[in-house]
Structure 1
Amino acid sequence: MSGPRLRRRRAPRDAEATMTLVAHLTELRNRIAKALLALLLATAVSFWWYEHGLGEFIRAPYCGLDEDLRYEGDRGCGLLITDVFGGVFIRLKVAFLAGAVLSAPFWLWQLWAFITPGLKRNEKRYGVGFVAASSVLFALGAVLAYVSLSAGLELLLSLAGDGVVIALTAPDYIGFVVSLLVAFGVSFEVPLIAIALNLVGVLSHEVLSKSRRWIFFLTIVFAAFVTPTQDPFTMLLMAGPMILLFELAIQVARIVDKRRAKREALEHFHDLGDDEASPLDPRPSALDDAPSPTHR
């Protein structure tokens, strides 16, 4: 008589995964409120920081250009403001962007915590890594954009030719800088989305590998449309790291799929009963065609 069928004990249900619609909406409201509070506090700190180094840090790429490519007033390099509320709006815009970056780990964690109840237990442990990787990748993209800002400005402003006085207004320059930093930061997040989809089992390594050429081509097209400068230097500076990150995402997906296949095979083995054959290695052995020692 066969023994009892061996099966793994089912993990207990997560109570958060069975919440009602009203409970989900309440949780969403609370998490949005926490994220907005963190963003507000970080924006307030950045508003104070603007006058204590942040504004000078943003103006540095422009003020580092040759004197014929920038406005030089009585008090040195500066940006023009042509309306009464221009200074307030510029400071608020910079403070909001800096606050969003500073509070990114917190509101990204709130986003992940809201999604987590709908995931499996083995998928929840990726939360810390997801938040950390998102913050680091956005920061790397923003740093790369800031480093390339001077070269991009010099290339674009020099195309005006001789006999042209260049005097950028503060809204134009700040808008350009903000859009460039956000574009680079967000673009560096895109390969992470591919890894996240692979971790939850939506996107396989096989699909990513077969689509590699299309991914790289679309990355270049994406960089051409997203970069505010529209110049080849900035476009390639964005597309190059993105292609490397996508290749890294493909290799991560390959490792994850291999581990998932081994884990599923092991789970299937434990689910077998005593009267069922175990899944042995299907590859033929050299002993299969060898004659038996009792064969005459």
Structure 2
Amino acid sequence: MALPKLFANLTITTNLISRRAINVCAINFASKPSLIKPKPGFGIAYRRIVHFPEEYTVKPLNVTNLAGRDPVSGRLVAKGIGGGIKHKYHWIAWLRDGPKEGPPIEEKVIQVMEDGCRTAHIALIGVGDKLKYILATENMKAGDILKSSRVLPRIPVRANEGDAYVLGALPIGTLVHCIEKEPGYGGLYIHAAGTFGTILRKNNDRIIVQMPSKRLFSFDQHCMAVVGRLSNVEHGSTPIGSPQRNRWLGNRPRSGLWKRKDGRHGRKIKPPKPIKEISFAGKKGQNAIQLTMCP
């Protein structure tokens, strides 16, 4: 008679536990807002937010590090981002404009410096009473004079490193970067350290440029481009050197995937295999033939 009572008590307790679990789940579900986790990509960066003022300035801008989280919901979107040294952002003037007729304008390089928010070095240049930042070329140094012009001459110009001209004014084989997508919209292509594009040929009013990815792009001949290769050429071949420096760069480690001796890509210590005997199976000799006089 004790067994039915025991089963009855068990059913009562299980019902209470299930009701309590349903209650807790309902409360948790009701307290959390219905958020849709965003996906990385689509032109949205989850590394930092730069607080841009209304007008252009060379003053270093404040930055809010996101560490891979969505700025609205706070949910983790990009797992590989995190940590990193705090940097100030230097606003690059992507539009290298010049006169459409007459001599080119001249700008002087005041200082070449590193920028923590991009791979290539930047240069502070001035013309008149205006200052602006541009991407520095490989051999650019303080005191250089840069020229900018939108004139499309009949004969190609002989440009120096750092000068900005329209693509139709440059000879075939010129190394360029910061190429405009449309005339007057500012340099959009080729910003990474040590990269460059090459002018291959001219097709009527179109200029064929080989990009760093070896793909061929066709641009309008009136699109501006800066001559030369971008600075910090050794960036891609420089080893990180230590896990701590990787954290300084803002890269979050993929924790738990690697262990030295028994991890996924680690060195496995296994017992040696048994001795394998190597033997040569030679040809067996033929049996001796005995000859007799008897039939």
TM-score normalised by structure 2 residue count: 0.28
Pair member with larger Rg: 2
TM-score normalised by structure 1 residue count: 0.28
The structure that is helix-richer by fraction is 1
The structure that is strand-richer by fraction is 2
Q: Which has the higher contact order (CA 8 A, sep 6+)?
A: 1
